[in-house]
A and B are shown apart, each in its own frame.
Chain A
Amino acid sequence: MIEIKDVTKRYGDTTVVDRVSLTIRPGGVTSVIGANGAGKSTLLSIISRLIPADAGTVTVDGLDVATTPGELLARRLAVLRQDNHMSVRLTVRELVAFGRFPHSGGRLTARDHELVDEAIGYFELDGLADRHLDQLSGGQRQRAYVAMVLCQDTDYVLLDEPLNNLDMRHAVHMMRRVRRMADDFGKTVVLVVHDINFASCHSDTIVAMRDGAVIAQGSTAEMMRPELLREVYDLDIGVHEIGGSRIGVYFS
């Protein structure tokens, strides 16, 4: 369970996360939605101890992320941020293998190698495994990063905009894999997603943020309502039931 209590983060006079309290129960997929600048990514970074909060606490299974040793937390929780500029020349396989670093240090066991191969296969990277990251397209790189995070094999997986740079096919596949990570492997996945329809089709719970605060949290059905979406995005979004999912229509 991830428990967030009164977390606040300010940059100068701007409060980007404003006394957020939130509980994310184990299992399932939780999507955090909100307009640009709503504080979603900052909140995710605070939960994953990438940036410190100015006030408040975050605990993961009772471990305070601000004080728990990094290497211990790295076996419980994995995070992938949105913008990853990497000038390092590693092959896809080398990068994915570093997902095992929290478990095995640099010395990979036979089991580690299995997991690496599994993660590479899972994200259809077999043909690219020995290519350097800088020789890949943005979408391929994104898949390699997520494969590394999967390879880390943590109970909690936090992904900031995992659909970045992905085309439609790979975006759908990514969300299905995320779903399966929760369903088949029992992981707790927290996503920041821009596209509300991906959030609607693939998550159990949706958390809506606006101006640094959580304004609503609930099941997908509860959250996919025009009144609520209007409050989140300042936009009229019609919600239709299509193929068993609630789809927001906002294109015209």
Chain B
Amino acid sequence: MTRLRAWHLVAGTAALAVLAAWSLFVGVSDLTLAGLLDGRPDDVRVLVESRLPRLVAILLAGTAMSVAGLVMMHLVGNRFVTPSTAGTTESATFGVLVATLLAGGEALIVKMAMAVAFALLGTFFFMAVLRRLTFRDMMLVPLAGIMFGGVIGAATMFVAYRADLLQSLGAWTAGDFSGVLRGRYELLWIAGAVTVLGYLYADRFTVAGLGRSFAINLGVRYDRVVNTGLVLAAVITAVVVVTVGEVPFVSLIVPNLVTMALGDNLRYALPATALTGALFVLLCDILGRVVRFPYEIPVSTVLGVIGSAVFLTLLGGGKRMGLR
């Protein structure tokens, strides 16, 4: 097994810094280093109003979503149960729709509150169903979760159709960072803060992942810790859905790749997952920006293509790599 070494983190952070710096200069508006150094007002404005917020949003969303996935799969004890395969994401989207119907499109706080409430409801409902399921097959459980998400997605679609909001729905669900401007992404800091909180819980999460009796034996309040983790995952998902939309596959493949290499001790896996998630989403976003320059491909599309390819590889080679 590979151990997490300091140089892994250093190398990862360095790669992230390079990509991040590069990402600031990728875009339609002409922004050059020389211009910035000269202090040209246009360049500075583009940087402060658009490029920097976008970068921060990407890093926060990528980090938070991967950590949400890691915590959820670990606590459920199934590597394929993540916010995107347990109905959490779809529930959050439903919440956004309901908030829009009730309070109009602009009330961001209402949207977020609703998204969080629905994400929590959906997640805990699915967990309650999971406890009653007699099959515990590694693949069937996430399949049930995907079906559950599908049902919620259908209900969302139906309500949106009736309310003539289908187009807006399309805009929210496709995760996209191109609309991120200063003043429109700051809620993501909440997801960032919740992620840090998750790190403080890392050991307790690991212990809870050992199973109920191990956790109780070691003096960990099992139910409380599991619920904390699920709330954390639901809140992160909801915040990301509200601010940038659904970012598919990140919460599924990043934690799986990291734990395959480093094992399930969250003390090490969690920071590594956070870093890898940020790297992965940033890379995909830059790709979406340069592939058809000057047009942009939404990051959700890029993630969908790359993510599904990685996921299929994981499934195919899973057994060999110790992923049952």
Residues of A within 8 A of B (CB): 45, 48-50, 69-75, 78-81, 84-91, 94-95, 98-99, 101-102, 105-106, 130-132, 134-135, 149, 152
Q: How far is the CA of A99 from the CA of B217 in the complex (A)?
A: 9
Which residue of the partner chain B has the closest CB to A95? Answer: B210
Bound Cα distance from A90 to B262, whole angstroms: 9
Contact between A90 and B265, CB atoms less than 8 A apart: yes
Q: List 29 A-B residue pairs with CB atoms under 8 Å apart, sorted by A's residue number.
A: A48-B216, A50-B213, A50-B217, A69-B219, A70-B216, A70-B219, A70-B220, A71-B220, A73-B219, A74-B217, A74-B218, A81-B213, A86-B210, A87-B78, A87-B79, A89-B259, A89-B264, A90-B265, A91-B263, A94-B263, A99-B218, A101-B203, A101-B207, A101-B218, A106-B202, A134-B322, A135-B322, A149-B217, A152-B218
Q: Are A102 and B218 in contact (CB under 8 A)?
A: yes
Contact B219 A101, beta carbon cutoff 8 Å: yes
The 8 closest A-B pairs by CB, nearest first: A74-B219, A106-B203, A71-B219, A102-B219, A89-B264, A70-B219, A88-B264, A89-B263
Mark each residue of chain B from 199 to 236: 1 if its CB lies under 8 Å from any CB of chain A, else 0. 00011001101111110111111000000000000000
Is B74 an interface residue when CB atoms closer than 8 A count as contact? yes
A135 to B324, CA, bound (A): 12
Contacts of B206 in A (CB 8 A): 88, 90, 98
Query: Distance in Å from the Cβ of B172 to the closest Cβ of chain A?
Result: 35
Contact B77–A87 (Cβ < 8 Å):
yes
* B1 contacts across to A, CB distance below 8 A: 91, 130-132
B202 x A98 contact (CB < 8 A): no
> What is the count of residue pairs linking A and B with beta-carbon distances less than 8 angstroms?
84
Known pairs A98-B218, A130-B1; list 11 more (Cβ under 8 Å). A48-B217, A49-B216, A50-B212, A50-B216, A70-B220, A84-B211, A87-B324, A88-B77, A88-B206, A88-B209, A90-B263
CA distance A50 to B140 in the complex (A): 28
Closest-by-CB residue of B relative to A94 is B265
Cβ contacts under 8 Å, A88 to chain B:
74, 77, 206, 209-210, 264
Interface residues of chain B, those whose CB is within 8 Å of chain A, are 1, 74, 77-79, 202-203, 206-207, 209-214, 216-221, 259, 263-265, 267, 322, 324
Contact A79 B210 (CB under 8 A): no
| Known interface pairs A70-B221, A106-B267, A130-B1; A98-B210 also in contact (CB < 8 Å) | yes
Answer whether A79 and B209 are a contact pair too, CB < 8 Å, given A91-B1, A106-B267, A132-B322: no
- What is the CB-to-nearest-CB distance from A167 to chain B, in angstroms, rounded to a whole number? 24
**Alpha-carbon gap, A101 to B212, bound state (A):** 15
Q: Are the C-beta atoms of B219 and A75 separated by less than 8 Å?
A: yes
How far apart are B126's CB and chain A's nearest CB, in angstroms? 19
Closest chain B CB from A176 CB (angstroms)? 24
Q: Which residues of B contact A73 (CB under 8 A)?
A: 219
Q: From A80, which residue of chain B is reached at the shortest CB distance?
A: B217
- A-side contacts of B213, CB under 8 Å: 45, 50, 79, 81, 84
* Chain B nearest Cβ from A26, distance in angstroms: 20
A71, A87, A101, A102 interface centre (most CB from chain B within 10 Å)? A87
What residues of A have a CB within 8 angstroms of the CB of B264 in the complex?
A: 88-90
In chain B, what residue has the closest Cβ to A134? B322
Interfacial chain B residues near A81, Cβ < 8 Å: 213
Chain A residue with minimal CB distance to B209?
A: A88
A118 to chain B, nearest CB (A): 18
Most B-side CB within 10 Å, residue of A89, A90, A102, A152: A89
User: What are the residues of chain B within 8 A of A132 when measuring CB–CB?
Assistant: 1, 263, 322
A86: which B residues are within 8 A, CB to CB? 210-211, 214
Nearest to B212 among chain A residues (CB) is A50
Among B206, B219, B267, B322: residue with most chain A CB under 10 A = B219
A96 to chain B, nearest CB (A): 12
Distance A67 CA – B233 CA, assembled complex (angstroms): 31
| Residue pair B217, A72 in contact (C-beta under 8 Å) | no
A residues near B259, Cβ cutoff 8 Å: 89
A73's nearest neighbour on chain B, judged by CB, is B219
B76, closest chain A residue (CB): A87
Chain A residues closer than 8 Å to B79, beta-carbon distance = 87
Cβ–Cβ contact A72 & B218, under 8 A: no
In the bound complex, what is the Cα–Cα distance between A225 and B263 (angstroms)? 50
- The answer on a CB contact under 8 Å between B217 and A89 is no
Nearest-neighbor residue (CB-CB) of B263 within chain A? A89
Residue picked from B74, B203, B267, most chain A C-beta under 10 Å: B203
Alpha-carbon gap, A84 to B221, bound state (A): 19
Cβ-defined partner of B203 (8 Å) among A49, A84, A105: A105
| Contact indicator A101/B211 (Cβ below 8 Å) | no
B210 lies within 8 A of A89 (CB): no
Shortest Cβ distance from residue B307 to the other chain A in the assembled complex, whole angstroms: 22
Inter-chain contacts of B267 with A (CB < 8 A):
106
CB distance from B140 to the nearest CB of A (A): 15
Neighbouring B residues of A106 by C-beta, 8 Å: 202-203, 267
